[in-house]
Amino acid sequence: MNGWSALQRFLDTDPRDAGCAEAMEMLHVYAELVASDVEAARLYPQVAAHLLACGPCAEDLAGLLAAIRENLER
Amino acid sequence: MIRNDAESAEWVRGLSSEGAERERAATRLHEIALRVARAEVHRRSAQLRISGPEADDVAHQAAADAVLAIINKVGQFRGESRFTTWAYKFVIFEVSAKIGRHFWRTAPVSLETEDWARLPDRFGFEPAQQAQWRDLLAALRRAVEQELTERQRRIFVAIVLDAIPLDTLVIELNSNRNAIYKTLFDARRKLRASLAANGYLDPDTPRWP
């Protein structure tokens, strides 16, 4: 990614973006859908839009998915 | 989607009960939370810049705080996921918060610092092609200084120029992730509009998928 595309990506805002509060509230539901190969982004487009733009929330989703997939409760 | 699987119901029953049953459930929850926290700290170890006992201490703190939050909120579990997935979420959030706090201790940066020379590098502009981006970034700086509110400007500078993680800024400004994100979201929109109005960006092309 060159500087122009990185800057454009940073400046572009998606009006569907749910924001952190809603994404964090739904993250466990969203993560289970992703882990089950269900189209989470189609069911929750506002959360999906947020996760594309918010690094910290996307990082939390990655951690949650890793925990689900590693089955750490056993 | 509301699910009432037996395992989730057992967790809720155990943590909502009293005496030895509650103690057993809380102990097992803590064991799981610690495994999740350790795995997550390990996964983020590059960001953390710590390892060994110090990293394990972060995991222990995150697990303990997450267990308290889960027990306090168990009545709010609505069965939209497995109970353990819901519980993992609290652990992950606690790890994020602890890492945000840790960043400030290991890499102190003044919020008053404004080094605009860092801007090209932050977006990966090549120094050799300065002639192509100099005007664009000068326009961006003008827009930051003229179009943003003081708070928007402060958050833009902290996150973009100083590369302070959002979760660290949450602690420093005594705010929350949603409020900081929303402030930056509004700033990004204003800056894009300003650059588009001055002919630096296409005003009409939405770039979201």
Domains of chain B with CATH codes: 6-106 (1.10.1740), 116-197 (1.10.10.10)
Query: What residue in A sits closest to B169 (Cα-Cα)?
Result: A56
| Partner-chain contact A6 B82, CB within 8 Å | no
Domain of A31?
A: 3-70
- Is residue A55 predicted with pLDDT exceeding 70? yes
Q: Could you tell me if B106 and B51 are in contact, meaning their C-beta atoms sit under 8 angstroms apart? A: no
**B41-64 burial string, b = 16+ CB within 10 Å, else e?**
bebbeeebebeeeebbebbbbbbe
pLDDT in the model for residue B1:
52
User: How deeply is A3 buried, as exposed, middle or buried, from its count of CB atoms within 10 A (0-12, 13-18, 19+)?
Assistant: buried
**B29 to chain A nearest CA, in Å?**
9
Nearest CB to A11: which of B84, B182, B191? B191
Contact status of A10 with chain B (Cβ, < 8 Å) = yes
Mean pLDDT in residue range B123-131: 89
Structure tokens at B48: 């953390």
CA-CA distances (angstroms) from residue A37 to A30, A32, B51? 11, 9, 34
Mean pLDDT in residue range B156-181: 94
User: pLDDT: is B111 or B208 the higher one?
Assistant: B111
DSSP string, B67-88: HHHHHHHGGG--SSS-HHHHHH
User: pLDDT: is B203 or B155 the higher one?
Assistant: B155
**A51 to chain B nearest CA, in Å?**
12
Mean pLDDT in residue range B94-100: 93
- Is residue B109 predicted with pLDDT exceeding 90? no
Domains of chain A: total:
1
Place of tokens 């990082």: A59
| pLDDT mean across residues, chain B | 90
Contacts of A28 in chain B (CB under 8 A): 80-81, 85-86, 88-89
| Partner-chain contact A63 B92, CB within 8 Å | yes
Place of tokens 């993560």: A31
Q: Could you tell me if B118 and B161 are in contact, meaning their C-beta atoms sit under 8 angstroms apart? A: yes
Contact status of A64 with chain B (Cβ, < 8 Å) = yes
| Partner-chain contact B85 A31, CB within 8 Å | yes
User: pLDDT: is B48 or B172 the higher one?
Assistant: B172
Contacts of A25 in chain B (CB under 8 A): none
| Partner-chain contact B208 A16, CB within 8 Å | yes
Rounded to 5 degrees, φ, ψ at B39 are: -65, -40
Structure tokens at A47: 């959360």
Q: What is the ipTM of this complex?
A: 0.93
| Partner-chain contact A31 B81, CB within 8 Å | yes
Other Cβ atoms closer than 10 A to A56: 21
Both ends of chain B: CA-CA distance in Å? 26
Contact status of A9 with chain B (Cβ, < 8 Å) = yes
| Partner-chain contact B208 A27, CB within 8 Å | no
Nearest to B155 by CA among B116, B195, B185: B185
pLDDT in the model for residue B34:
97
pLDDT in the model for residue B46:
75
Rounded to whole angstroms, the Cα distance separating A38 from A59 reads 20
User: How deeply is A29 buried, as exposed, middle or buried, from its count of CB atoms within 10 A (0-12, 13-18, 19+)?
Assistant: buried
| pLDDT tens string A15-52 | 999 999 999 999 999 999 999 988 999 999 999 999 99
Rounded to whole angstroms, the Cα distance separating B207 from B189 reads 13
Rounded to whole angstroms, the Cα distance separating B74 from B10 reads 12
